[in-house]
Each structure stands twice: as C-alpha cells, then as structure tokens.
Amino acid sequence: MTGEKRIMTTHTLDARDLTCPLPVLRARKAMKHLAPGDILEIAATDPAAVRDFPAFCEATGNELVSAEQTGGVYTFRIRKAGRPDAAG
C-alpha cells in the first residue's frame, strides 16, 4: 500500500568483553537482518572499537549516528543504509 510509513526499530548488540575484530564482525552480521533506516545500538568495551566502528560505517555506507563512552563502555548507534520506505 502506498503512503504507509514503516516504524524504525532500534536493535541492541552486547559486544562487551569482546576484542577486535569480534565487535565489528558481530555488528556486520546483525546489520544484515535489519531493515533500511533501523538503528543498531552496540555496547563494547574494546578501546579499538573507537576507530573500528567509524571505519566500518564508512566502508559499508551505514551512518554512525552517535558514539559515546560511559564508565569504560563505548556505545555506538548505527543507522542501516538505504531508503526506509523502499520495498524489499
């Protein structure tokens, strides 16, 4: 049906206590199951994630919405590339 808007969904990935390259590899796998426009929120403790996730987004065309650090946990919010209203 034309004109319908899909509600964007936020998904979470706990990558705490995983070391490089596992947080990015798990995020890549999780992103495959998301619809365009959905957000993946990743919690990671590996300091390498600070450089890995921006590079991952640049390589894949996904958008790094935010990156924060609180108490040794890095939180990244990534929006899946593509048109949210695109069919399929």
Query: In the 8-state DSSP scheme, what is residue 35?
Result: P
Q: Give the three-class secondary structure for 53.
A: helix
Residue 71, Ramachandran bin (φ over 0: left; ψ between -120 and 50: alpha; else beta): left
Q: Which residues are catalytic?
A: 20
Residue 33, phi then psi, degrees to nearest 5: -95, 0
